[in-house]
Amino acid sequence: MNSEGQRIGRRIRDVRESRNLTQERVILAVPMNRAHYQDIEAGRANPTLRPLLRIARAIGVPVHELVS
């Protein structure tokens, strides 16, 4: 996986954890397959725009904070 995907995944995880949200809560809010979400956070998968927007909404940040 490229470093951009890893950076985005790390940022999603960091924000989620800083807001005391579990992966389960985000997965249910998005909704998304658990394995795919875990791959995104681990930087093994790049989310497309729609899932990235949903993840940002679920963790309570604008999408630009995840990709900038």
Question: What is the value of pTM for the model shown?
Answer: 0.90
**What pLDDT digit, counting tens, does each position of 27-55 carry?**
999 999 999 999 999 999 988 999 999 99
The count of structural domains within the chain is 1
- Give the structural domain span for 62: 3-67
Alpha carbons within 13 A on the beta-carbon side of 59: 29
- List C-alpha distances in Å: 41 to 14, 38, 47, 57: 9, 5, 10, 16
Q: Which of 55, 21, 3, 20 is nearest to 65 (CA)?
A: 55
3-state DSSP assignment of residue 5 = helix
CATH number of the domain within which 57 lies: 1.10.260.40
